[in-house]
C-alpha cells in the first residue's frame, strides 16, 4: 500500500505546484515614497506627538521646538521700533511747524508783491520776504533728510521681525503628507538642530511595485494599463489589481535579487505599477505581475 500512496501523493504535489507557479511576466518589490521630516529650527523639542505605526493627516501639527528666545528677540525689536518711531514723530512734527510757517510766509509774499505793484511796498521788502520763504524751504528739506535714515532704520527692524516670525513658524513641526509613521528618531525634551531627522513617514494606502520587463515585452505595455499583481499569502496566492504608471526609457541590467544567474546579464526595463493596499502589502515585499489579456 505504501508504494502506491507515495507516488500518487507526489503526483498531486507536482500538479499543484505547476498550477500555482505559472511563470509570471515580471517580478519586483514594493516601494513607497518615504519622507524624512527634519527639524528646521534649533533648540529643545517641547513636544513631538508621533509614534511608529500611527496614521497622520497632512497639515497636522505634531511638534514644537522651543521659541522662547525668539519671542524675547521679537519683543526687543518691537520696543526698538517704538523708540525710533518717536524720533520720527518729532521730526515730522518739526516739518509740520515749518510747513505752517512756509504757508504764512507765502501769503505774506503774495501780499507784499501786490503792494509793490501798486507802489505801496519797497523792493527791499519784496527781497526780504522772498529770502524768508527760501530759508524755510531749505529748513524743510534739511529736516526731511534727517527723517530718511530714521525711516530706513524702522524698515530694517521690521524685516528682522519678519525673519523671527519665519523662524517661529519653522519651529512648529507640521506633518507634510497623509501616511503612516515608519520610524521615530527623536523624543520630547531632546535638543535638536537644523536638518536633524525627527521621523520618517510614508503613504502606504497606495503602494508602488517596481518590476522589470524584457525588451520583447515592451510592445505589450502602456501607461494606464491594468495588470494582475500577486503576492505570497498564508492561504496561497493573493491577487491585486494594478495599474502601470511609469515605463523606463532606458534599459538596465536585471537586479540580482529577483532573477536566476543566467538572466542577470539580460537588459530589462523598469516599470512601476500602482496597487491599492488594504494593509497586507509591506515595503520591500516581493511580487509578481501577469499581463491581462
Q: How confident is the model at residue 255 (pLDDT cuts 50, 70, 90)?
A: low
Q: How confident is the model at residue 117 (pLDDT cuts 50, 70, 90)?
A: confident
pLDDT tens column, 62-89: 999 999 999 999 999 999 999 998 888 8
| Full set of structural domains in the chain with CATH | 23-33+205-291 (2.40.30.170), 35-67+172-202 (2.40.50.100), 68-169 (1.10.287.1490)
For residues 140 and 11, the model is more confident at 140
Question: Which pLDDT value is given to residue 256?
Answer: 57
Q: The pTM is what?
A: 0.67
pLDDT tens column, 18-58: 344 467 899 999 999 899 999 999 999 999 999 999 999 99
**By the 8 A CB rule, do 204 and 182 touch?**
no
Q: How confident is the model at residue 139 (pLDDT cuts 50, 70, 90)?
A: confident
3-state secondary structure the chain: CHHHHHHHHHHHHHHHHHHHCCCCCEEEEEECCEEEEECCCCEEEEEECCCCCCEECCCCEEEEECCHHHHHHHHHHHHHHHHHHHHHHHHHHHHHHHHHHHHHHHHHHHHHHHHHHCCCCCHHHHHHHHHHHHHHHHHHHHHHHHHHHHHHHHHHHHHHHHHHHHHHHHHEEECCCCEEEEEECCCCCCEECCCCEEEEEECCCEEEEEEEEEHHHHHHCCCCCEEEEEEEECCEEEEEEEEEEEEEEEEEECCCCCCCCCCCCCEEEEEEEEEECCCCCCCCCEEEEEECC
Amino acid at each position: 500500500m505504501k508504494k502506491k500512496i507515495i507516488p500518487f501523493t507526489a503526483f498531486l504535489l507536482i500538479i499543484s505546484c505547476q498550477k500555482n507557479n505559472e511563470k509570471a511576466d515580471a517580478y519586483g518589490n514594493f516601494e513607497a515614497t518615504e519622507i524624512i521630516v527634519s527639524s528646521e529650527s534649533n533648540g529643545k523639542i517641547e513636544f513631538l506627538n508621533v509614534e511608529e505605526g500611527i496614521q497622520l493627516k497632512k497639515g497636522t501639527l505634531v511638534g514644537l521646538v522651543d521659541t522662547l528666545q525668539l519671542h524675547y528677540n521679537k519683543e526687543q525689536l518691537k520696543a526698538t521700533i517704538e523708540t525710533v518711531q518717536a524720533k520720527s514723530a518729532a521730526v515730522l512734527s518739526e516739518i509740520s511747524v515749518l510747513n505752517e510757517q512756509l504757508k504764512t510766509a507765502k501769503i505774506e509774499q503774495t501780499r507784499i508783491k501786490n503792494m509793490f505793484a501798486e507802489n505801496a511796498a519797497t523792493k527791499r521788502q519784496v527781497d526780504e520776504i522772498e529770502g524768508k520763504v527760501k530759508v524755510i524751504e531749505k529748513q524743510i528739506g534739511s529736516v526731511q533728510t534727517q527723517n530718511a535714515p530714521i525711516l530706513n532704520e524702522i524698515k530694517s527692524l521690521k524685516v528682522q521681525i519678519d525673519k523671527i516670525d519665519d523662524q517661529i513658524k519653522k519651529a512648529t513641526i507640521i506633518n507634510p503628507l497623509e501616511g503612516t509613521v515608519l520610524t521615530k528618531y527623536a523624543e520630547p525634551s531632546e535638543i535638536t538642530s537644523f536638518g536633524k531627522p525627527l521621523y520618517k513617514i510614508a503613504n502606504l494606502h497606495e503602494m508602488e511595485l517596481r518590476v522589470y520587463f524584457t525588451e520583447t515585452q515592451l510592445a505589450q505595455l502602456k501607461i494606464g494599463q491594468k495588470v494582475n499583481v500577486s503576492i505570497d499569502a498564508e492561504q496561497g496566492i493573493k491577487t491585486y489589481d494594478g495599474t502601470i504608471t511609469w515605463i523606463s526609457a532606458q534599459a538596465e541590467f536585471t537586479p540580482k535579487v529577483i532573477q536566476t544567474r543566467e538572466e542577470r546579464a539580460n537588459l530589462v526595463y523598469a516599470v512601476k505599477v500602482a496597487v491599492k493596499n488594504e494593509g497586507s502589502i509591506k515595503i520591500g515585499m516581493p511580487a509578481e505581475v501577469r499581463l491581462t489579456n
